[in-house]
Amino acid sequence: MAKISLSKYFSEIYNDAEVPKFKVLVDGKWIDTKNGCDLISPLDGKKIAEISSANEEELKKAVSSAKANQSKIRDMAAIDRLELINSIRLELGKHVDELVNILVNESGKSINSARGEINAALERMRLSMEDSKKVYGEYLPGDWSSDTSQKMALVIREPIGVVLGVSPFNYPVYTSVAKIVPALLAGNSVVLKPPSADPVAFLMCAEIFRKCGVPSGTLQVVTCDGETAGKYLIRNDDINMISFTGSTSVGKEISQTAGLKKLHLELGGKGTAIVLEDADIELAAKECVKGSLELSGQRCDAISRILVVKKAKDALEKKLVAHLKDYTLGNPSDDNKVSMGPVINEKSAIRIDGLIKDALKHGAKLVAGGKFDRAYYEPTLLTDVPLDSRIAEEETFGPVITVITCSSEEEAISIANKSQYGLDSCVFTQNFYSAWKIMKSLQVGNVTLNAAPSHGTAYFPFGGVKNSGQGKEGVGYSLEEMTVIKTVIFNLSPAGLGKIYKGLFKD
């Protein structure tokens, strides 16, 4: 692909030069910034576009506009907000093929993976619309307590204000939509920073939001480098909440510098699969390969290591080798049968290779893979991985199946819980009592029985413990995270409507 070329519908979001430069959405208008950075496709390592890089002055304008215009979305009737989001959902559905094409070329996703992401975004919008109707307040009669017997209260939810959303490269469209839609439905304005590595598909979505009538200034979309964002956006007092999805290291920096803002942090993980002797080995192998290799392993909910009891080791490894053949590495723009594309860039491939070489140095066995060309890393299987190797503890974020042998389920639980992460895990067994014991014992936010972890459309809520973050993401839960509770108290005594506490039965 020589350069990105879009249909006329999206003509306002970029300058159609020899190498197109994409703009930022500030105060309801697409503007060109003074600075920019190259957009490199992982498919061939070539520059396909230039991305605007907002400076502090431009970010200041975006935040000021979001604050000044928040009342536009807050004052809309909830039914109008629902109808707005539905119109966006229907319009976005008309551009799926074009979005998929761009997503493949800028992120390296397979065609099926890219289409799955766009469809998941559409489904998340639908589910969020349905669940927003369930976010109510609460009536509290005061006569259950002696000091409030002549009062009543309403506990209501109100928008938090300006929400800053920061999205990752692995799901640039879905995660951005999952932050914006609940925020708008709750009556907030949004400043969204898409990933620098692959922002174009979401910039296209932002144009759909704008053309469908999102009130001017209630959605700002700014591309900028992480350092600029950290220095200005994270510290800005006009930002009321930060919803960040990304690495644990950056999440910690945000928590240390954000002040008293409300934080929702969805960070790294070390997804662990525990496979017991009585497991359905065929199922376990298929799910573990899927959980390790989908999206080239670049998922926070990926299976990052398999802890298998010794008696099941040989049978599982044999099946893992067989299911490796289910994944074909290649350029998805050249062949729609390719099931696994490159990782996001060559730098990432080099990092993954370093983890594998370290594991081999410590005594692991390389069964398959272990080579890369530019950003293309082969599906790799490592067995007999020692616990003192880096890949046994660090988040892999690459297409590597890591097998660690354990003597018992108790040892597997112990190894799993020593991790600094606590996002997702899974267990494979046909024994209910073993499953319940392990699922209750694991220190994670989500645990799945007999399937690989998958956040999907977040119909089931997810969120980590320990260094995997804070807060819950999910349909309904995300919307509640983006509201604040206000208690409104009524004194009923002037009208004689309260109930007088008489203390007749007091000890």
The pLDDT of 475-484, averaged and rounded, is: 93
Which of the residue ranges 134-148, 391-405, 419-433 would you say has the lowest mean pLDDT? Answer: 134-148
Residue 451 · residue 280 · CB < 8 Å:
no
What the chain holds in terms of domains, given with CATH numbers, is: 8-267+472-485 (3.40.605.10), 271-449 (3.40.309.10)
* Whether pLDDT at 391 is above 70: yes
Instruction: Specify the DSSP class assigned to residue 114.
Output: H
Strand positions, DSSP E, 45-149: 47-53, 138-141
User: What pLDDT shows up at residue 2?
Assistant: 55
pLDDT in tens, 41-76: 999 999 999 999 999 999 999 999 999 999 999 999
Q: Which of 288, 300, 406, 426 does the annotation list as catalytic? A: 300
Copy the structure tokens of residue 335. Answer: 């062949």
Q: Which of 439, 445, 417 shows the shortest CA–CA distance to 427?
A: 439
Q: At what angle do helices 310-324 and 281-293 cross, to 10 degrees?
A: 60
Report, in angstroms and rounded to the nearest whole number, the Rg of the chain calculated over CA atoms. 25
How much is the average pLDDT of 5-30? 95
Q: What pLDDT score was predicted for residue 458?
A: 94
Q: What is the mean pLDDT of residues 186-212?
A: 98
Question: Which two structure tokens, joined as six digits, stand for 364?
Answer: 């692991």
Q: In this predicted model, what pLDDT tens digit does every residue of 347-382 receive, in sequence order?
A: 999 999 999 999 999 999 999 999 999 999 999 999
Average pLDDT over residues 284-312: 98
Kindly state the average pLDDT of the residues 25-48. Answer: 96
The sign one gets for the Cα dihedral 137, 461, 410, 420 is negative
Exactly one of 266, 346, 395, 409 is catalytic; name it: 266
Q: Which of 66-70, 229-233, 395-399 has the weakest average pLDDT?
A: 229-233
Residue-averaged pLDDT of the chain? 96
Q: Where residue 476 falls among pLDDT bands split at 50, 70, 90?
A: confident
Kindly state the average pLDDT of the residues 314-339. Answer: 94
Cβ burial 100-136 (10 Å sphere, 16+ → b, else e): bbbbbbbbbbbbebbbbbbebbbbbbebbbebbeebe
Active-site residue, 37 included: no
Mean pLDDT of 227-234: 89
In one letter, which amino acid is 24? V
Nearest to 308 by CA among 263, 265, 273, 333: 273
Range 227-233 average pLDDT: 88
Length of the chain equals 507
* pLDDT(504) > 60: yes
CA end-to-end span of the chain = 83
Per-residue pLDDT, 1: 46
pLDDT tens, position by position, 407-462: 999 999 999 999 999 999 999 999 999 999 999 999 999 999 999 999 999 999 99
Phi, psi (degrees; rounded to nearest 5) at 382: -115, 130
Q: Is 266 known to be catalytic?
A: yes
Interval 91-125: pLDDT, tens: 999 999 999 999 999 999 999 999 999 999 999 99
Confidence of residue 16 (pLDDT cuts 50, 70, 90): confident
User: Which residues have a Cβ under 8 Å from the Cβ of 380 and sit 6 or more positions away?
Assistant: 356, 366, 368, 369, 370, 399, 400, 401
Could you tell me the CA-to-CA distances from 134 to 127, 171, 264, 486 in Å, in that order? 11, 27, 21, 17
pLDDT at 302: 98
Of 404 and 34, which is predicted with more confidence?
404
Task: Please give the average per-residue pLDDT across 205-231, as a whole number.
Answer: 94
| Distance, CA of 121 to CA of 182 (rounded, Å) | 12
